[in-house]
């Protein structure tokens, strides 16, 4: 049986790959206007980074990490030997921890410096049960801003994300933005204690996982998908009743800036997000219908303590990530089709084998000038070369036969207007250069080649 891609992964075939490139470019254009610069971090990191950064009580760390291990270390483990902590590696389940590690390691935010604004795009890995909109390898585009704790950072980040959805074509009226504040190390402990006490009272109604969570981080019980637990957690204390004055002022300022920008949002005091590093602002963008349960197309928040967790000096942070595949599902639900292959500028058809070498050189010259050019590689008849040119959506077809070659010319047919003219071989290069200049303007391209 032919092998298939692993469960929960998918191939990005050329049409989709083109869209993914456009998606990343649109993000880079928009986020670039807000000062975000590209960064790329490794696809795997020391497991400890994720345990310390994301939190061991999270599903992401406790259940969903893929470990990456070298053959040598695997042999050692199988032989019952231990391996060094730094050799325990995991595929990144998200991008924030790696970016924060890179910021600390490369000292990107020296004391007193302006914040580091970074953006990334690429695959993340989570061993979740695959379903529509939930994969084991998926792509995220994300941003992280390190070094500033002002609410303006949070607000401009959220505004920028909503601008991105608009630009990529996700109708804003099909989305909802949920916001909350998770408090800080001053006010959260009292809230955690209150949730823990509430969970203890309802211990007999909670699942094993939630009982374990109540010991490590009770707030994680808000993520539990089991109906019984969800019903219990509905009645749990709300963080909004526990925020300290500073956290409340920060939250109010973020909301005020969103109001001023005309961004609508829903306050959801049970939004805790699935990662432990958040402090203060958290938010999530969901698609209102047509996406089933996997309807979150992006989310993020502030993480003012994460840098210290991974061994850096205190550096406040804010960021978000959006899921490419889920955005694509939302776009397709709204009727978008993937863009097709762009037209081939020039197809060179050979009447017989005697001219193939010259055809090959013409095609090469066109590519060197900067045009897309193709020729037949399978000894097809002239008729099927024209069919291939049609399939490639060729703008011009050049036909070269022994007679043309003997006269030092080639026939050039404009496939849109079907006009044909004879061009001297020695004039081809300048023709190609003029084509390149006029390519952006299809009408001008047509005229150029139809001129006598």
Q: Of these, 300, 359, 376, 386, which contacts ligand HAM (CB under 6 A)?
A: 300
Nearer to ligand HAM, 40 or 201 (CB): 40
Token representation of residue 444? 């001008």
216, containing H or E segment: helix 208-216
HEC secondary structure over 317-374 = EEEEEEEHHHHHHHHHHCCCCCCCCCCCCEEEEECCHHHHHHHHHHHHHHHHHCCCEE
Region from 18-26, 90-98, 363-371, 443-451 binding ligand HAM, contact rule CB under 6 A: 90-98
Buried b (16+ CB within 10 A) or exposed e, 266-300: eebeebbbbbbbbbbbbbbbbbeeebeebbbbbbb
Place of tokens 């019980």: 221
Nearer to ligand HAM, 183 or 301 (CB): 301
Counting every residue written for the chain, the total comes to 452
**Binding residues for ligand HAM restricted to 267-286, rule: CB under 6 A:** 274-275
In the bound complex, what is the minimum distance in angstroms from residue 97's beta carbon to ligand HAM?
8
- Minimal CA–CA distance to 108: which of 146, 164, 157? 146
In the bound complex, what is the minimum distance in angstroms from residue 122's beta carbon to ligand HAM?
12
In the bound complex, what is the minimum distance in angstroms from residue 428's beta carbon to ligand HAM?
49
Region from 133-141, 168-176, 406-414, 430-438 binding ligand HAM, contact rule CB under 6 A: 133-141
Token representation of residue 383? 């008729």
In the bound complex, what is the minimum distance in angstroms from residue 68's beta carbon to ligand HAM?
18
For 211, phi then psi, to 5°, come to: -65, -40
Q: Of these, 309, 325, 374, 404, which contacts ligand HAM (CB under 6 A)?
A: 325
Region from 136-144, 146-154, 308-316, 410-418 binding ligand HAM, contact rule CB under 6 A: 136-144
Region from 40-48, 92-100, 101-109, 347-355 binding ligand HAM, contact rule CB under 6 A: 92-100
Secondary structure of residue 90 in the 3-state scheme: strand
CB 265 within 8 A of CB 178: yes
In the bound complex, what is the minimum distance in angstroms from residue 307's beta carbon to ligand HAM?
12
Region from 88-96, 180-188, 206-214, 426-434 binding ligand HAM, contact rule CB under 6 A: 88-96
Residue nearest ligand HAM (C-beta atom):
323
Integer angstrom CA distances of residue 192 from 199, 208, 235, 243, 323: 10, 19, 15, 12, 30
Footprint on this chain of ligand HAM (rule: CB under 6 A): 94-96, 126, 128, 134-135, 138, 140, 142, 144, 274-275, 296-301, 319-323, 325-326
């Amino acid at each position: 049986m032919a092998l298939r891609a692993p469960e929960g992964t998918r191939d990005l075939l050329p049409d989709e790959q083109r869209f993914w490139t456009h998606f990343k470019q649109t993000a880079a254009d928009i986020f670039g206007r807000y000062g975000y610069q590209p960064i790329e971090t490794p696809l795997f990191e020391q497991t400890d980074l994720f345990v310390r950064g994301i939190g061991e009580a999270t599903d992401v760390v406790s259940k969903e990490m893929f470990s990456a291990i070298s053959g040598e270390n695997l042999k050692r483990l199988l032989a019952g030997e231990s391996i060094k902590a730094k050799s325990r590696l995991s595929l990144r389940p998200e991008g924030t921890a790696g970016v924060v590690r890179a910021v600390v390691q490369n000292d990107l935010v020296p004391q007193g410096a302006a914040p580091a604004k970074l953006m990334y795009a690429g695959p993340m890995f989570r061993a979740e049960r695959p379903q529509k909109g939930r994969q084991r390898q998926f792509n995220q585009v994300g941003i992280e801003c390190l070094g500033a704790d002002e609410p303006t950072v949070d607000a401009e980040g959220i505004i920028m994300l909503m601008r991105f959805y608009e630009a990529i074509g996700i109708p804003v009226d099909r989305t909802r933005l949920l916001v909350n504040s998770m408090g800080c190390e001053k006010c959260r402990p009292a809230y955690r204690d209150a949730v823990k006490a509430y969970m203890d009272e309802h211990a007999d109604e909670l699942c094993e996982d939630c009982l374990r969570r109540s010991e490590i981080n009770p707030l994680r019980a808000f993520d539990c998908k089991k109906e019984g637990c969800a019903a219990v957690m509905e009645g749990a204390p709300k963080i909004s009743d526990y925020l300290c004055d500073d956290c409340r002022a920060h939250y109010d300022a973020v909301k005020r800036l969103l109001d001023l920008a005309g961004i609508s949002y829903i306050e959801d005091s049970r939004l805790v997000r699935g990662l432990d590093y958040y402090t203060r602002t958290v938010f999530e963008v969901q698609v209102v219908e047509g996406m089933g349960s996997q309807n979150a197309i992006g989310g993020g928040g502030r993480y003012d303590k994460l840098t210290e967790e991974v061994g850096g000096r205190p550096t406040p942070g804010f960021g978000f990530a959006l899921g490419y595949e889920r955005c694509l599902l939302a776009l397709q639900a709204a009727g978008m089709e993937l863009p097709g292959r762009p037209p081939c500028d020039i197809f060179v058809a050979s009447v017989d084998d005697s001219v193939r070498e010259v055809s090959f050189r013409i095609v090469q010259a066109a590519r060197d000038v900067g045009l897309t050019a193709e020729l037949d590689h399978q000894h097809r008849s002239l008729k099927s070369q024209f069919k291939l040119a049609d399939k490639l959506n060729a703008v011009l077809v050049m036909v070269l036969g022994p007679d043309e070659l003997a006269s030092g010319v080639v026939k050039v047919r404009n496939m849109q207007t079907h006009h044909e003219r004879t061009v001297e071989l020695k004039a081809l290069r300048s023709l190609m250069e003029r084509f390149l200049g006029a390519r952006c303007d299809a009408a001008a391209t047509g005229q150029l080649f139809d001129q006598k």
